[in-house]
Structure 1
Amino acid sequence: MRVSTAALCLAWALALACAHPLPHGKSEAAGGGHPHEAEPPNNDTDLAQLCVDEGSFDAATLNENGTMLFFRGEGVWEISRGAPRPHIRPLAASWPELGGPVDAALRLHRRQHPQEHQNLYLFQGEQVWAYAGGQLRPGFPRRVADEFPGVPGGLDAAVECHPEECGGESILFFKGDTVYAFDLELRVTKPRTWPGLGPCTAALRWLERYYCLRGTRFQRFDPRTGEVPPGYPRDLRDYFIPCPGRGHGNASWGDAGHGCSKMPFQALLSDDTGRIYAFRGGLSFRLDSWQDGHHAWPLGQTWPGLEGEVDAAFAWDGRTYLIQGSQVSIFLSEQGHRRVLGYPRALQEELGVPSADAAFTCPGSAHLYLITGDHIRLVDLTQTPRHVGEPTPLPHDHVDGAMCTNDGIFLFDGTGYYWYPSVAQLLGAQQPAPLRSITTDFFRCPQ
C-alpha cells in the first residue's frame, strides 16, 4: 500500500544549494550572458563561491514537480527530490525556446482549471512562455499584456497567490515600486504600492508564506497588504543556501534534519486545516505539501515559544495540542499557531493522564485516543472535566507516534509504521498489521 499523496506524502528537501558563478542580476545578465556548452560540475568550490556571492537572482519558483528553481543569467539552480546535491543547469537545456535570461517565473496552482494547473510561466521582456509537463504549451510565447491584461512587460518578479491566503485566485507581479495584482477569475489588474516592502528582484511562495528577494537578502510579506513582520530582512545564506557555518541548515542538525534518515519521529499531527506535521528532535516537518518541498525547522519557527521534543500531538476544534512530558501546550490552528494564554498546563489537569507516548483524533471526531506502552485509552473531549476510559490492550509493545486521517490509522514505531483502516479494526486487532517503511512510503526515499 502507498500512502495517499494528497494527505500524507512527505516532501523532498528544500535547500537552495551550490551554484556556478554567473552574471549578477538582470541588467548584467541581459548585457552579455552566454549559454553553457556543458553542465558545470557540482563541487564544494561552487558552494563556496555562492556563499560569498552578493549577486541577485533573476527569478525563483517551484516547478510542477516540487523542485525549487533559482534563476540567474543563463543558468538555473535546481534541488530535486532525494538528490544529494543541487543540480546546475543551463536554461537552454530545459527551455530551449527562451534564448536568454528570464525576468520572472511562477508556478500556477489552479486545480479547477486543468489546462493551467501546475503550469510553469517564464517571463522575458514583453513575452511569457507557459510550460505544462516540461513542454511548451501551444500558442506560446504570448505577449504578457495579452495573457495578463493590464500587466506590463519587463517585470522584476512574479508569484502565485493562493485564494486561502489572498482572498481569491491571483498573481502578484512586481515592477519597480509597483505591485500589479492580477485576478485570475475576473482577468483584471489592480496596481498597488507597498512602500514597506520595496522592489523585489525575485519572489517566492513557500509553505503558505510569501518572500521578496533582493540581492542576498529576503523579506517575508503579507500578500494582501505588503506588510513585513519584524525580524526582516534576512540573509538567504542563513536559510535557503546551506553555507558551512551559517544559518540553521539541516546539516547542523545531523540525521534529525534529514527525512531519509533512520531516526524515529516522536509525534505526528494532522490538524483541522489539513496540514500534517512530523516532530523529531526539537524539529518539525511539513508533510502534506510535497510540491512546496519539505524542510526541517526548529519548533519555535512554526510553534512560537515552543522548545524541546514533542512526545505526542493531536488536533480538535481548531486547536492543536502538543504534549511535552507532563505538560501540554495548545495553539490556534488558523491564527499562525498562536499559543493559547495560560499554556503550557499540566497534562493531568487538561486531559486526566500524567503522560502519553502517542495521541490521535480522527477528522470530525471529539474522541481522543491516548497510547501509553501497550494500551490505548479513550477521552471524550466534549466532557468537562475530562473522563479517561479504561485501558484497552494493543497488539504493540510500544509506538513512537500516531495519526488518524481519512485514510485510516497510522502507528509509527522506529523506522516503520502500521496501518489500520479504522479505529474499530485497530482495537480489535490480535496481531500487528504488516510493518511498512516510513522513509519509502512517506519520504519516497530510495530503498
Structure 2
Amino acid sequence: MKTFNLCVLLSLAVAVHCVPILQDSQEDEQFAESYLKNLQSLYGPGMEPVESGSGSDTNPDACDVTLVLDAVATLRGEMLFFKDSFIWRTHPLRDTPEQSLITAYWPDAPTDIDAAYESRESDSVLLFKGQRVWAFSGYDLVSGYPKPISSFGLPESVKKIDAALHDEESRKTLFFVSNEYYSYDEAKKTMDQGFPKRVDETFSGLTGKVTAAFQYRGYAYIYSGSHMFEYHLGTKTFFRELQNKYFLPCTEY
C-alpha cells in the first residue's frame, strides 16, 4: 500500500507540517481531516493540504552524489535548493533540511525552474523558467508578474537563464547564459555595458555549464553539475571545489 505525506503550510517562517497517510485507508483519512482542523484552529483558516509526493522514487535525494540542482537561492537567512517540483530549505538553526513541493510555498510558482535569486531591495525571491520570471514577496506573487526576462534588458535571443547570482555589496546580479554572463544593476534597473562576457575569463577553472549559483558571506558559489566552485566575489579569486552536499547535507547517515 502506497503512502503520501499530508503537508500544511503555516508560513514561510514555519516549517511545513507533514504526516504520513495511507492511501485507501478510511481511518487515516479521518485522522488527516482531524489533523487539519486542529491546525486551522491554532493558526487560522485558509490552509489546504498538499500531497508532497507518492513515494521516495519521485522525490530528489540530497544523498545522491550525482544530484544536479536546478537553482539555489537565499531568502531571509535561509537557503533554498530547487530540484524538479521540489524545494529544500535549510537554516543555520536547523540541522536537517526540509523538503516540500515548490507549490506548497508559492501556489503560483513554476516547477522545474532554471534559476532563482533573492532581491533584498524588493524583499522578494525571483524564479526563472524559460523566457519568464516570477517574483514572490512572502508567499504571494508580486503584482505585474510573471514578466518576460527581456524586462531586465536581456536580448530577445536569450531563451532561458541557466543561473542567477546576486551580489549584495555591489547590488549587481549576474545572469549566466550558456558560456557567457550578463551583469544587471539592481539600483539602476539596467544592464551594465560591456556584457556579455565569457564565464571562464572571469571565473578561472569554471569550464563546464553553470547550473546554479548564489552568494554567501561575501563568496560566490557557482554550481556546475554535481560540483560547486567557491570564489571571492570581489576579486573573483578561485578558492576550492566542493560537492553539492557542502550546503545541502545528506541526513541518512
TM-score, normalised by the number of residues in structure 2 = 0.73
SS at match of 2:151: helix
Query: Any conservation in 2 of the 1:250–1:296 contact (CA below 8 Å)?
Result: no
After TM superposition, give the deviation of residue 328 of structure 1 in Å: 0.5
- 1:411 is matched with 222
SS of 1:436's partner is strand
Report Cα offsets for 1:328-361 as digits up to 9, x if no partner. Answer: 01111xxx32111221111012342433211111
CA distance in 2, matches of 1:414, 1:212: 31
Matches within 5 A, 1:273-288: 273-288=76-91
In the other structure, the counterpart of 1:345 is 147
2:221 is paired with a residue whose SS is strand
Q: Structure 2: where are the runs of 5+ without partners? A: 4-9, 20-29, 201-205
Larger mean CA deviation between 347-356 and 277-286 belongs to 347-356
Conserved 8 A contact 1:362-1:405: no
Distance in 2 of aligned mates of 1:440 and 1:410: 11
Aligned to 2:27: none
2-structure distance, mates of 1:205, 1:342: 23
- Tell me how far apart the structure 1 counterparts of residues 170 and 180 of structure 2 sit (CA, whole Å): 20
**Match of residue 315 from structure 1:** 118
Per chain length, whose mean CA-contact separation is higher, i.e. which structure has more relative contact order (CA < 8 Å, sep 6+)? 2
- The residue type equivalent to 2:191 in the other structure is H
Q: Is the 8 A contact 2:181 2:196 kept in 1?
A: yes
Q: What is the match of residue 157 of structure 1? A: none
One-letter amino acid matched to 1:352: L
Deviation at 1:380, TM superposition (A): 0.5
Of residues 158, 172, 183, the one that matches 1:367 is: 172
Structure 2 partner of 1:218 = 35
| One-letter identity of the residue aligned with 1:392 | K
Offset at 1:440? 5.2
Letter of the structure 1 residue corresponding to residue 69 of structure 2: F
- 8 Å contact 2:131–2:148 — kept in the other structure? yes
- Residue in structure 2 matching 1:266, options 70, 75, 80: 70
Correspondence for 2:24: none
- Please state whether the residue corresponding to 1:409 is helix, strand or coil: strand
2:98 match: secondary structure: coil
Is the Cα–Cα contact under 8 Å of residues 114 and 128 in structure 2 kept in the other structure?
A: yes
Structure possessing the higher radius of gyration over alpha carbons: 1
The Cα shift of 1:425 comes to 1.9
| Residue in structure 2 matching 1:227, options 44, 66, 91 | 44
- Work out whether residues 283 and 297 of structure 1, in 8 Å CA contact, stay in contact via their aligned partners in 2: yes
Q: Could you tell me which amino acid in structure 2 is paired with residue 285 of structure 1?
A: W
Write the mapping of 1:154-233 to structure 2, written as runs, cut at 5 A.
208-209=14-15, 215-216=31-32, 217-219=34-36, 220-221=39-40, 226-231=43-48
Q: What does the per-residue CA deviation read over 1:385-407, in whole Å, with 9 as the maximum and x for residues that have no partner?
A: x2243123333231100000215
Distance 1:285 1:305, change over 3 A: same
Matched residues, number = 221
Would the alpha carbon gap of residues 250 and 294 (structure 1) be closer, same or farther in structure 2, given more than 3 Å must change? Answer: farther
Shift of 1:205: 10
Residue deviations 1:299-326 (CA, integer Å, cap 9, x gap): 2111221232111111211111111111
* Match for residue 99 of structure 2 among 296, 302, 307: 296
Query: Are residues 310 and 289 of structure 1, via their aligned partners in 2, closer, same or farther at CA, if it must alter by over 3 Å?
Result: farther
**Superposed CA RMSD:** 3.4
Taking a change above 3 Å as real, the CA distance of residues 373 and 212 of structure 1, as seen in their structure-2 partners, is closer
CA contact (8 A) 2:15 2:98 kept: no
**What TM-score results when the alignment is normalised by the length of structure 1?**
0.43
- The structure with the greater share of residues assigned to strand is 2
Alpha-carbon distance, 1:206 to partner: 9.9
The Cα of 1:441 is off from its aligned counterpart by 5.4
Matches within 5 A, 1:49-64: none
